[in-house]
Structure 1
Amino acid sequence: MAIQYGISGTTAKGIAASVEQGVTEGSLGPGAALPPVRRLADELGVSPGTVATAYKELRGRGIVVTRGRGGTVVAPEPAVASRRPPKVPEGLRDLSGGHPDPALLPALVPPSRLSPGARSHRSTPRLERLEDAVRDWLLPDGVPVEHVTFAHGALDLIGRLLSVELRPGDAVAMEDPGYHHLLDLVTALGLRIVPVAVDDEGVRPDALGAALRAGVRALVCSPRAQNPYGGCFSAVRRDALVDVLRDEPEVLVVENDHASEVAGAPLHTLTARGPARWVHVRTVSKFLGTDLRWAAAACDATTLARHDGRLLLTSGWVSHLLQETVYGLLTDNGTRALVTRAGEAYALRRSALLQEFGERGIEAHGASGMNVWVPVRDESAVVNGLRSHGWWVASGARFRLSAGPGVRISVADLEPADAVRLASDFAVVLGESEATYGG
């Protein structure tokens, strides 16, 4: 997609800044093609090496990607500007967001006891009672809890760890398809992504083995409720992955258990059986509230020291007000009952849609979590076709690296009765798209 935008500059930094400005302002949108190096060099009166250096800087910062003969284009999710999801067209049922059902979330009440601002929060960054609650939360699932820490959400923790542990150009094994914000974050850090295929049991051992042979220094994976595919580790799959990782003790294993209490599947964690370097991170946004930007993590001693050392130099600590709120909810019996009910509801809604798809011969995946992944031939045809029936789903392009096309459907508030209509409409749309695109 060629875009008319006047790139300017006489130095590599100036050219890179001009491109970044175009992306930030929206003049260069995702997929927009940048001029070939030699052509832009001729237009600006600079050497090809200057333009090549500018493009290299932009690639390292996750603003552009190079696609071989396809040239250099603006990244699908460039690491600048505001990348809010597309606005849901009026009158459509939104199944694209991946958010929990508001009716199944507790009321968020700030703690009555405010955190005094006079004491040094840096010297005591974590509330001891919340640390104890986190250990009580993780230990029954087999996660080692000798060392725990907190962060401002999973992305905050993972981004901090990768920036401390790795250097630009280092390789990271990432699930494919995978969580698009994590894929964008890794690219923005200047790291190289090595795709690792997933199935209904999560990361495939053969794909992980290939990534390790390619020299990855970290693995980021989800043990259950994998987004968008829905896979979850079985005990057999967990053991197979541990075997693959056993000969790579320096690889940092990041286990993102983002849905935990409402995943609808037991945890088979990698952390208890082998990795020397590991972190298991959990958030509460899926079952306590999306505005609770808090994560708990258990990890090895080295990882704890490196994470907390960098945290100390930046935000310093996670708000004690936020910690008090999370502690109150995690230890409240009424909230626990609500979370149990939410997990049961999501499992019912997910299985209802999968059953309806199965009865119509539609392949779909969603062994756990709040999402269902449906492989399709043409994402745009299916998304637009469902739009004509009143549904809004997420195109799979933003989640994929080298995996095949598909769409993601969020089922958090999709009642079983609605699943019947959605599956029927989906079958119609698939038939129409196959007729249009050659079957």
Structure 2
Amino acid sequence: MWKPDRLSGRTLYQQIADDIEQRISYGEFPPGSLLPSERKLAEQLGVNRSTVILAYAELRSLGIIESRSGSGTRVSKYKWGATPRHTPNWHRYTEGGSFLPNLPFLRRIREALRQNPALIDYASGELAGDLAPVEEINHLMSEKHYTSYLGYDNPQGYNPLRESLVSYLKQYRGIQTTDASILITSGSQQSLYLITQCLLSPGDAVAIEDPSYYYSLPMFQSAGLRLFRLPVDDKGVRPEDIRSLYKKHRIKMVFINPNYQNPTGHVLDDERRIELLDVASELGLPIVEDDPFSLTAYDGTPPMPLKSIDPIGSVLYIGSLSKIAASGLRVGWMVAPHAVVERLADARQQMDFGLSVVPQKVASQFLKSPYFQPHLERLRMHLLYKRDLLIEALHKELPDLVSFAIPQGGLHLWCKIIPEVNDNKLLEEAIRRGVIMVPGSVYGSDSGYVRFTFARPSAEEIGPGIAKFAAALRSVL
């Protein structure tokens, strides 16, 4: 007799429900026939009765079986009739496909924030509403008429925005480029998705930082890529590690976030930048540089991107407005060789016919406006203030239990919990006490690290939030 596979990644009750549905469809249990009792089937399959109860509940929800007090559980007559009719087994579909769901921790964080918006939020990696240039953008939109043309635009992106980015990249990032080498995307994540889907193939090996924001993105595994880690220390990645990975695994691409790295906040050392480009040119390796945080530099002197000192075009450069203006605009960009831009623009057109022209027009006007530089200065001032509040609260609440390096830019503080702690228990206890953060294991690190995003909570929430976290940590310890 068939029995569920306890080593399978699928739950026992889903396996049982699928088996019963299949046997019904094969005619083993005709419409109206009596099914085994929950207790008897549990004995036959060697599972707890509660597991069979869940399986039967699943089948009842689909209308496949029906239960009545005193007459047991039977195959539905109305559902199946003379000619069986099937409701799609949506569990099979949702568990299939090549695109993987988010990591369990990230799904839990999203669920907790949805259920309790009052949580003090150190988890969401974005700016609080009061840090966004809302008044400035409203003013720009009131000055301009955005109804002249709202049809499909160039899949490479709105041309005036690309022209604005040529000036912006030269002035603020030291990058010389042309509008033909810029692709507008729906934020940095779409740039990464297009690269993994169009420039790489299943089975290809790529190098990512460790810890790394990229580790939290299932899109890499969904694309069938093999991930190899580059350890990050206080000076960033070590270029010799790339050469070693290339020899062992023939990596085909390197993904890095060199300025105020997410989650550690570290900046890649100047000497290592030069060595990294030398290694890439020696091996013919493309480097994908994600640069969302540079302009948040608290001293007003952002570290320059790799792309600005890239002599031979090894670097695909990704930027966006999400971390310096507003994530809701969903405006990002990639600077790449024109052949790459054309390839990705073609794929992008197949996906969504291009980003809406309205946010692109807003972004273009904002980058050229007199509001942009003052906004950056205000943003840096507020982020520095919030960072200092966070550091003060950690020193006050957890003086002997945590350690961290002080970031000089970005939105995050990477915190090491000195005693051994269980990430899952700590997260659940923190949620119970009214605060939420991201466990370090989401980014590929060992258990016992936490990423606090201080850009999201208000200044008034930062102290109480860390007090709640401290109470949760002590409770778990």
- TM-score range normalised by the length of the shorter chain: 0.7 to 0.9
Aligned position for 1:113:
146
Aligned position for 2:435:
391
2: CA distance between counterparts of 1:193 and 1:77? Answer: 19
Aligned position for 2:162:
131
Deviation by residue 1:46-73 (Cα, 9 ceiling, x = unmatched): xxxxxxxxxxxx899354xxxxxxxxxx
The CA deviation at 1:357 is 3.8
Aligned position for 2:75:
none
The CA deviation at 1:341 is 0.6
Judged with a 3 Å threshold, the aligned counterparts in structure 2 of structure 1 residues 196 and 181 are, in CA distance, closer, same or farther, namely closer
1: CA distance between counterparts of 2:470 and 2:351? Answer: 51
SS at match of 2:261: coil
How many equivalent residue pairs?
373
2: CA distance between counterparts of 1:347 and 1:212? Answer: 39
Aligned position for 1:145:
177
The CA deviation at 1:364 is 1.6
Tell me if 1:277 matches 2:277.
no
Deviation by residue 1:97-118 (Cα, 9 ceiling, x = unmatched): 1220111112244552324257
Larger Rg: 2
Q: Is the 8 A contact 2:102 2:218 kept in 1?
A: no
The CA deviation at 1:183 is 2.7
| Structure 2: gaps spanning 5 or more residues | 1-8, 23-57, 59-94
Alignment map for 1:59-208 (pairs within 5 Å): 61=98, 63=100, 76=103, 85-88=110-113, 90=116, 91-107=118-134, 108-109=137-138, 110=141, 111-117=144-150, 121-122=153-154, 125-140=156-171, 141-146=173-178, 147-179=181-213, 183-208=217-242
Alignment map for 1:213-362 (pairs within 5 Å): 213=247, 214-249=249-284, 251-264=285-298, 266-271=302-307, 272-274=309-311, 276-354=313-391, 356-357=393-394, 360-361=399-400, 362=402
Aligned position for 1:370:
411
2: CA distance between counterparts of 1:77 and 1:173? Answer: 23
Higher mean C-alpha displacement, 263-272 vs 169-178: 263-272
Deviation by residue 1:311-346 (Cα, 9 ceiling, x = unmatched): 344434333222111112222223431232112211
Q: Is the 8 A contact 1:161 1:307 kept in 2?
A: yes
Judged with a 3 Å threshold, the aligned counterparts in structure 2 of structure 1 residues 206 and 130 are, in CA distance, closer, same or farther, namely same
1: CA distance between counterparts of 2:10 and 2:357? Answer: 50
| Structure 1: gaps spanning 5 or more residues | 11-26, 28-57, 64-73, 435-439
Q: Is the 8 A contact 2:128 2:457 kept in 1?
A: no
SS at match of 2:451: strand
Deviation by residue 1:251-270 (Cα, 9 ceiling, x = unmatched): 22111112343254623322
Report the residue type matching 1:398 in the other structure.
V
Judged with a 3 Å threshold, the aligned counterparts in structure 2 of structure 1 residues 388 and 206 are, in CA distance, closer, same or farther, namely farther
> Identical aligned pairs, as a percentage?
20
Q: Is the 8 A contact 1:100 1:286 kept in 2?
A: yes
Alignment map for 1:26-45 (pairs within 5 Å): none
1: CA distance between counterparts of 2:225 and 2:182? Answer: 26
Higher mean C-alpha displacement, 152-161 vs 415-424: 415-424
Bigger proportion of residues as helix: 2
Judged with a 3 Å threshold, the aligned counterparts in structure 2 of structure 1 residues 201 and 130 are, in CA distance, closer, same or farther, namely same
1: CA distance between counterparts of 2:468 and 2:373? Answer: 37
